[in-house]
Amino acid sequence: MGRLIAVVLFIAVLVPGVLLARAWALAAGRRAVAAAAVGFTTPTPEGLAVVARQAQHGRRVRRLGLLLGVAAIGASIAVFAEASVFLWLPALVLGLLLGVVLAEATRPRSRWRTSSPARRPRQSELISLVLLWSMRAVVAAELVVAVLMWRRGELPDSVGWVAVAVPLVAWVLAEVALLRALVRPLPAEGADVPVDEALRTWTAHLVAAAVSVLALLPLGALLLAAGIDLGDRVTEGIDLLPVALVAGGFAGLAAGLALAVFLVTWLKPVRVDDRALTT
């Protein structure tokens, strides 16, 4: 009976990760609609310039993120020596994801003429609120788990600082990017509106996906480590906490990897020459 309960609990804890991955799969439809809307219009010269400038800015800052990842690898070598080989890939991914979020938070202002009176979209028009609040919930959960394990001495100071500071900084940058995308007025020219909406949609999904991955992967690793440690203790009766922690760890890692795949599909910049979908 105890094994059955453990299996049921394990499956139940995996369900949120599966639902989150499904929600991101459905977001691909929003990307297709935005790209098709751009393909139906002929933007103004100002709109074409904005798209080109935004794409160039994104590439430059993401390269900066790559350099940040390389620098993190060098720092890990200096601190952990040969043992740092296992940290090279996470450090590189960390730099790349921070580059994605930083690129969206520092997007150059559009130079087209804005509408008067100013019109702004609602946040639900840019991204599903489920994806947005799941990002915030995952970051909060990761910070709580990291702080608790750090205070109990289960994490070295170097790991604790990274586990807390990186998701927190990424989340702040994501909120800045979302706020900028929300308060920016719509363009005055109707032909530029689909381009502007596509750029906002790309920004919202890029930062939400990048920050979710930045929080899910360390959260999964922390829960998995905590569950394995608790599983070694001797208790009376059935102890379901280690099972729940291990299941949560696997769910976090699996969801983080799945979201990383969806993130890659959003990295392709908005293209004005996209054509509408045909049946």
pLDDT in tens, 216-252: 999 988 988 888 877 655 455 456 677 778 878 888 8
Residue at 75 is within a domain: no
**Six token digits for residue 163:** 């586990």
Residue 56 resides in a domain: no
278 pLDDT band, cuts 50/70/90, is very low
Over 80: is that where the pLDDT of 8 sits? no
| pLDDT cut 90: percent of the chain above it | 22
Q: Which residues contact 229 (CB under 8 A, 6 or more apart)?
A: 154
Dist. CA 142–CA 153, nearest whole Å: 17
Enter the pTM of the model.
0.85
Domain count, the chain: 1
Task: Flag whether 244 is in a domain.
Answer: yes
* Rounded alpha-carbon distances, angstroms, from residue 203 to 71, 96, 198, 279: 26, 16, 9, 28
Has residue 5 got a pLDDT over 60?
A: no
Amino acid of residue 81:
A
Q: Which of 46-50, 173-177, 265-269 has the highest mean pLDDT?
A: 173-177
pLDDT of residue 213: 93
Q: Is 51:272 a contact under the CB 8 Å cutoff?
A: yes
Confidence of residue 1 (pLDDT cuts 50, 70, 90): very low
Rounded Cα distance between 90 and 74, Å, is 13
CB atoms within 10 A of CB 277: 10
Give a yes or no: residue 77 inside a domain.
no
Tokens 């790349």 locate to: 96
When pLDDT is cut at 50, 70 and 90, the band that residue 215 belongs to is very high
79 belongs to a structural domain: no
Q: Is residue 66 part of a domain?
A: no
d(CA 122, CA 124) in angstroms, rounded, equals 5
Does 118 map to a domain? Answer: yes
How does the average pLDDT of the chain come out, rounded? Answer: 81
- Structural domain including 219 reads 2-46+106-266
246 part of a folded domain? yes
